[in-house]
Structure 1
């Protein structure tokens, strides 16, 4: 029996995932979490074979949570589940150590298939994402501007684009205002932009924010 931790801050979504998994004979949800803190506490207390991790958690980004999990439990497969398209986050989460990436619009059958694949030591990406990754390798010089950002810079860029102030971002990420200001300056420089408004327009055009 494959033991699974399901992490999603939306109760309805989480219950739906649990229901899908419970209909199989070989998979069992043995833990549920709504925050990054709960994810880490559970994994430290009991064994799991797979973590199904939402990319958006209220207390910490799923990407940072993924990195913590892989630092403490490098052999634990993490399947990232997200509302964001594969072209926006797929490559980032794979580079951060995820065993797979799946969007929430996928079917129940594909979710079960993905869990089984990563539980068996494999990596899971959809056929569309596999094609996108191949295209990315072939067209590396033409990467979008946001692909040049580090994970933290990308996180700060999205928050700025959503209209958050430097002070708000500092509080959210437990960083100093000076550090966030430095990240903002780097982001603007790397993306050849001059204002948060330009960042917001770019982020909307590339579906990085809603």
Structure 2
């Protein structure tokens, strides 16, 4: 049996070690590469053939949100399973909308981690019971839950960057869009979230666990 090649992208060595030990114990799975940064992960993805990426949200050089966008833009439809310490209600819907194939908490039990990996490898999306309830609630009651869950992928991306203290110019440079476009996104965010300033955006993001 040919084992599925998995890339671990997480900046915590102990987390990678634990996941690697768990995955490599399975006869059909193999951790064939590890990355501690977004740049390392993207470089490895360009170099080889991978069946799945386990991607953390909080990488030191680039957020998992940005990394996921770059994977989808430049590397196609390689399966990406998000593994995060953040609760599902904070990020899951936005990341699934951005192209993630699943969202998994780092404190999930062994059986759930392996089940999630195999579900995604089969070409399906993995939703934990909590994430599934969130998606169902959005369908049943549009507008229910945190307002950021209704943002577009790009709006959510700009929100996280503004809240982390980046200027409009810095965001424009990093996303390769114009300053005017970023300003438009900022205005749209303030309107949708019913906020009045960058300081309030930051407070909203901290309150909702979008930044630490």
Q: Is the TM value for this pair above 0.5?
A: yes
- Give 5+ residue unaligned stretches, structure 2: none
Residues 77, 36 of structure 1: CA spacing in aligned structure 2 closer, same or farther, 3 A cutoff?
Answer: same
Q: 8 Å contact 2:52–2:80 — kept in the other structure?
A: yes
**What is the DSSP-based 3-state SS (H/G/I as helix, E as strand, rest coil) of the residue aligned with 1:140?**
coil
Q: What RMSD in Å do the two structures reach over aligned CA positions?
A: 2.4
Output the CA distance in 1 between the equivalents of 2:105 and 2:184.
32
Distance 1:71 1:161 in 2: 24
Which of 26, 34, 37 aligns to 1:35? It is: 37
Alpha-carbon shift at residue 183 of structure 1 (Å): 3.0
How many angstroms apart in 1 are the aligned matches of 2:168 and 2:127?
35
2:89 paired residue among 87, 112, 116:
87
Structure 2 CA distance for partners of 1:86 and 1:73, relative to 1, 3 Å? same
Q: CA deviation at 1:29?
A: 0.5
> 2:47 maps to what in 1?
45
Distance between the aligned counterparts of 1:171 and 1:11, measured in 2?
A: 31
Which of the residues 118, 138, 141 maps onto 1:139? 141
Q: Secondary structure at the match of 2:30?
A: strand
Tell me the residue number matched to 1:100.
102
Equivalent pair of 2:98/2:153 in contact (CA under 8 Å):
no
Matched with 2:62 is: 60
The superposition leaves residues 125-152 of structure 1 with CA deviations (integer Å, 9 ceiling, x where unpaired) of 1112111211111010335322333323
1:4 paired residue number:
6
The aligned residue for residue 17 of structure 1 is: 19
- TM-score, with structure 1 as normaliser: 0.86
With 183-192 and 165-174 compared, the bigger mean Cα shift is at: 165-174
Q: Alpha-carbon deviation of 1:177? A: 5.1
The number of equivalent residue pairs is: 210
Q: Which residue of 2 aligns with 1:160?
A: 162
Shift of 1:187: 1.6
